[in-house]
Every structure is written in C-alpha cells, then in structure tokens.
Structure 1
Amino acid sequence: MFAALGHVVMKPFMLLWLYTSPRSWRGLPIPESGSPIVVGGPDPLKVLVSGSGIVVGYGVASNALALGGSLARSIASLTGRGVEVATLACPRMTTTMAKSRLTPEALKGLDAVVLSLGTFDLLCFLPSRRWGRGMSELVDSVLANAEPNTQLFIVNCTAPKMSHFIGAYRHHLLRLTTAYNGEIEKLTHRQDRVHQIHFAPQPQDAEAVQGRESYRVWAEQIAPDIAQGLQGRPHPRGDV
C-alpha cells in the first residue's frame, strides 16, 4: 500500500521536474528515428534495441553515435560478423508501450532483441512487483511474436545519480533498482531464450553524459553478453 502511494505522489512530481528543471535531460538533443546502423561483415546478425533511458541517445544527434551504433560496432568486433542494429526508443517507454510496439512485423527475422526499460518507472517509485508483472507480460509477448530462435536480452535497470535530490530519495532509488533487477533475474529462469545483462555503470547525472564516448563505454559493457548469447545459435532467417 505504502509503495503504491509513493508512486502516486512521485509520478506527477517527476513529470513536473522533467518539464521544468534546468537539470532535466529533456533539453538534451536526441537522435531522430532513422535507418538501422549497419556494420559490414560476413554472416550478418540482426538486432533490435528497444527501451528508454540510455537507449534514447540523449546528448547525440544520430543513432550511429548513440547506443545502437555503438552496440553494432562492439558486437561486430567481438564476433567478426556483420551487424545491423535498429533502435526503437521513447523517453518514457513503459512495458505496456513496448508490448504494443514489438509486433510480429517489428520482430521479424531478428537474431536478438535487447530491452532496456525502467528508468522513468524507477524515478517515479513504481513498485517492483508491479513493474515485474509488466516485464513478464512483455517478455511473453516478445517470445510469442518473435522467431523461434530469436534471443531476448534484458539489460539491468540503472537510474541517473539525481545528486540534486535529497539523500532519502536517492537511497530508495538504489534499493528499488536492486529490486527491479531481481525481477529481471526471475524472468531468465523461465526461458532459456531470455538473458540478463549485468550492466552496472557508475551512476551519473544527465548533464555528465559525454556524448558518443559514454555510449561507446556502455556498449562495450553490454555487447559481450550479447555476443556470447548468440554464439552458435542458428539464424532465424533461412536465407542466411
């Protein structure tokens, strides 16, 4: 009850902060939707990255410089294969929104789907069990809509440092982040096609994001689990 009440109070407050605070990431540039990022090479992999937070690409003007492009280059380097990465992002994407967008058409022919969700939910104190139920429904939907061999990777939740907020808020944010990641871990025990990526960058405020360099560093932390999870897996596309 108290967790739900905290969410009811925090959501309008965070929306107000997001739209009015000079420290909000809302004023940072973000890439426009565009074509997938392609790194040439043999036996190409097709990947879709979807979510909020770091997937959006705050601070850069092109997906080639954001997480999608950085992941394409990192995965190609690790596997020696060609890689095509498409990005489907929204600053306030929820599990419900992701479920509606990750249709059979959007997931057709993919080797991997990478999800990174929960940033805004964390900041609004959405209870972890409620978030976990939403993620469970999303995972079931993705597995049903995707090809039988498509692998699903879920990146651990992270939250901005929020150093200008009071300590009690930041401490609860850390506890809730741990709880969200526990919900992700539960999902990996249900299906061998679902993988958790243990991503734990140093928390930082939005204004500290260093453009393409930050995304390069984050991709180098995320890509190894994807490369390993795809190793030896058959393509979902019969023409490859």
Structure 2
Amino acid sequence: MLDFLRRTFTRPLVALWLAGSRHSWKRRLLPRDSPHVLAPGTNPERVLIVGDGAASGRGVVTHDLGLPGFLARSLSARTDRATEVDILVDDAMTADECTEALASQDLRRYDIVLVSCGANEALALQSPREWQLAIRTLLTTARLKTSRDAKIFVLAAPQFGVNPHFPRALANAVDFHGGVLNTITERMTEEHQGVVYVPESRDQIFEEAGAVRYQAWAELIADRIVRNLDPHRPQAPSMADEYEQARQRAFEHLESLGTANDAIVDRLTDKARDRFGAKIAAVTFLHADTEHVRAVSGLEVDAVYPRSDAICDVAIRRRGPLVIEDARRDHRYTGFSVVAGELGIRFYAGFPIESPDGFRVGALCVMDDRSRRFSGSDAIALRDLAAEIQRHLYSREGVGVG
C-alpha cells in the first residue's frame, strides 16, 4: 500500500519537472543523422541498438559521437573486426514499444542486439508486476527472432540522482524504483539462454551528456560484450553488402547514361559554390573502391581518388546532409587527405545524389579552408541543388527524380 501511494504521488511531480524545468534532459538535443554507424575493417560484427534513454544520444549532434559510434569503435578495437551498428532508438520508447520495434525487424542479420530500456518506466514508477510482464515479453520476442548464435545484452535502467538539477527527493524515489525494476530485469535475463544483463554504469548520465561520457560508457559495455562472445560462432548475413552491390549497379547504370563533361552539371556546381561562398564545390560519384569527380568548381583536380579517402563516402551513408563545421577539431575526419594535406579543408557540407530507385550514388559537396556555420536554410538550399542535379542526370532516360 505504501509503495502504491508513493508511486501515485511521485509520478505527477516527476512528469511536471521533466516538462517544465530548463534543466530537464528532455530538452537536450538529439542526433538526427543516419541511424547507422560503421567502424571499418573486415568480417564485421553486426549490432542493433534498440530502446530509449542515453542510447538515443542526448547532448550530441551525431550518433558517431554517441553510444553507437563509440561502441562500434570500442568493439572493433577489441575484436580486430569491423563493426556495423544499426540504431532503433527513441527518447520516449518503453519496453512494450521496444518489443513492437523488434517484432518488425529481421533480427537474424545481427550478431548482437543491445537493449536499452527501463528509463521511462522508472520515471513513470511503473508497477513491478507490469514491468516484469513487459520485460519478459521483450526478451522472449528478441530471443525468438534472433539466430541461435546471436547474443542479446540488456542494459540496466540508469540512476537519475547523478543529475545535480533533478530534485533530490524525486531522484531518490525514482532511483529506488529503478533498482527494483533492475532486479526484475536481471532475474528475467537468467531465464533466457544467450541473454546477458549489463549493470548500470555511473557514466550513464542524463545531464551534461557528451562524447567523453559516451566513450567511457561504450568502453564498459564493449568489455562486457567481448567477454560473452564466442569468436568461432557463425556470422550473420550482411544486409549492408547487399545494399552496396545494388548501389554499385545503380552507379554503373548512371555511367551508361553518360555523365562526363556535362555543361549543366558544371553550371549547377558553380552555382553551389557561389551560393555558399565556398572555396570549392564538387559533384562526385562513388564506385566500389574509387571516387569519381564529375564536376568541380574552384580547383583543378584528378578525376579519380581512392574511395577510402573520400569524405563523400561518409556523406552517402545517410539520407540527409553531412555537415562538418571544423574538420580539424573532429577526430573522425582529421585523417582524410583533403583535411590533413595541402588543401587544408576545415568545412564540408554534402548532400547525397540518389538513383530513381533510392540508391545513393554520389554527392554534391561544398568545402572551405576555414571553419563555418551551416544553418537549416543552408541545408535546404544544398538539398535543392543536389535534387536539381539528380533530376537532370536521370532526365536522359525520362525518369523524374526529386
């Protein structure tokens, strides 16, 4: 009875603080980039992150600097293999919604499924009985849909008292309740073979979240994952490989339409450079191992470069714009020759060019040797110019692409 009363009175106070406080983690920015990250190498581990909370990347602008990116790199450093991470997260996702999300996925293509849930139920002070039913259903669904050799890792719900702005009395009540839910979760994982419980980390902080904290958290999770993996287990099939093969066929089809020495593409590339006042603008296409420069404004360059050294290869891995406001301050890009070499590029913005059937074959990009800001209206203008190039390229076969 006392537990019921505590939950009844505390729940609306927590909801009020989350909705109204300027310190609420609900107000922090979330990544809006492609829900896929890759740590390069061979024989990739394929990981799905599903759930809520800090896994959604509060406080950083890209999943590369959140848990997914650091986890991919941490796992690759330990396994000497590539790591592909797909991200199926929502800041408000509950365990029931997580189950629905997993039910709609082909989980057989993943070696590892990382489940992050319970934060929203802890904040809502969900009854232990309801939580037990929800987490049991979630784990049963995940186990049934994954391959026999896949591993499922379940993260504990976090403690909220580490947030100095969260009222202490509310934090104590929520954390006590979260501990109850975590005890149930740990017990439920023991009922399923191949399911591993990962205890809560003090680095899983909801306020002041940033790349350093995500890196520390990812290191701890990667250690737990590697200790539980069988290095001799069969690998899951790669959907990424299938996509890349289809993407290359789309590139080859575009080549057959004739894209070299196109005056309209040249004019639109000049227009992009003028619109953004950039040092360089270019249209590039990506083949299997090479980047082909089809138009460039502001520079004399070779026509073909290694794909492994092309920032545009990063740009085509997402549907929206890739914006790097200062590449020299971003460790992900400092090794590219356009950044480290004579050009000294610091700013990059690129938008994918797609085939009519949706494969990203190349990109329109603008670059500068000084750091710059790139607004939402700038992103729209770049998108519109990329779409104009796209429509022109495929107008040769009478297909409109917008």
TM-score, normalised with respect to structure 1:
0.89
Residue type at the aligned position of 1:200: S
Q: Deviations over 1:156-213 (max 9, x none)?
A: 221322444554433333322222221122123212210011232157551x22x111
Query: Residue 141 in 1 paired to residue 131 in 2?
Result: no
Please give the alpha-carbon distance, in whole angstroms, between the structure 1 residues aligned to 2:9 and 2:229. Answer: 42
8 A Cα contact 1:163 1:205, kept in partner: no
What aligned pairs does 1:117-196 form with structure 2 within 5 A after superposition? Answer: 117-161=117-161, 162-196=163-197
Partner of 1:113: 113
Change (3 A) 1:139 1:122: same
Residue 289 of structure 2 corresponds to none
SS in 2 for 1:70: helix
Query: Which residues of 2 match residues 207-218 of structure 1 at below 5 A?
Result: 208-209=208-209, 211-218=210-217
| One-letter amino acid matched to 2:227 | Q
2:179 is paired with a residue whose SS is helix
Contact 1:136–1:187 (CA<8 Å) still a contact in 2? yes
Secondary structure of the structure 2 residue equivalent to 1:222: helix
Do the aligned partners of 2:66 and 2:211 also contact (CA within 8 Å) in 1? yes
CA–CA distance in 2 between the matches of 1:205 and 1:108? 32
Identity %: 25
Greater share of residues in strand = 2
Letter in 2 for 1:111: D
Structure-2 change in CA distance of 1:167 and 1:116 (3 Å): same
**1:2 Cα deviation from its structure 2 partner:** 4.4
Q: Name the structure 1 match of 2:82.
A: 82
Higher relative contact order structure (alpha carbons within 8 Å, sequence separation ≥ 6):
1
Which amino acid is the alignment partner of residue 196 of structure 2? Answer: H
SS of the equivalent of 1:85 reads: strand
| 1:58 positional shift | 0.5
The answer on whether the counterparts of 1:148 and 1:236 sit within 8 Å (CA) in structure 2 is no
| Structure whose CA Rg is larger | 2
Q: Aligned partners of 2:47 and 2:138: how far apart in 1?
A: 18
1:225 aligned partner: 224
- Conservation of the 8 A alpha-carbon contact between 1:18 and 1:25: yes
Structure 1 163/124 Cα, relative in aligned 2: closer, same or farther at 3 Å? farther
What is the CA distance between 1:101 and its match in structure 2?
A: 0.6
8 Å contact kept, 2:151–2:229 = yes
Do the aligned residues in 2 keep the contact of 1:199 with 1:222 (CA within 8 Å)?
no
Task: Count residues with an aligned counterpart.
Answer: 238
Distance 1:219 1:110 in 2: 18
Q: Structure 2 CA distance, aligned partners of 1:176 and 1:191? A: 24
- Rounded Cα–Cα distance in structure 2 between residues aligned with 1:237 and 1:51: 21
Q: How far apart, in 2, do the equivalents of 1:159 and 1:171 lie? A: 9
The equivalent of 1:3 in structure 2 is 3
Alpha-carbon separation, structure 2, partners of 1:104 and 1:229: 26
Cα displacement (A) at 1:130: 2.2
CA distance in 2, matches of 1:82, 1:116: 22
Distance of aligned partners of 1:204 and 1:195 in 2 relative to their CA distance in 1, 3 Å threshold: closer
| Offset, 1:227 | 1.5
Deviates more, 1:150-159 or 1:9-18: 9-18
- Higher mean Cα deviation, 71-80 or 13-22? 13-22
Q: Is the 8 A contact 2:203 2:217 kept in 1?
A: no
Aligned amino acid, residue 89 of structure 1: V
| In 2: Cα distance, 1:4 partner to 1:34 partner | 42
Q: Mean Cα displacement is larger for which, 194-203 or 43-52?
A: 194-203
Stretches of structure 1 lacking an aligned partner (at least 5 in a row): none
Residue 4 of structure 1 contacts residue 126 of structure 1 at CA under 8 Å; is this kept in 2? no
Is the partner of 1:58 in helix, strand or coil? coil
**2:199 corresponding residue in structure 1:** 198
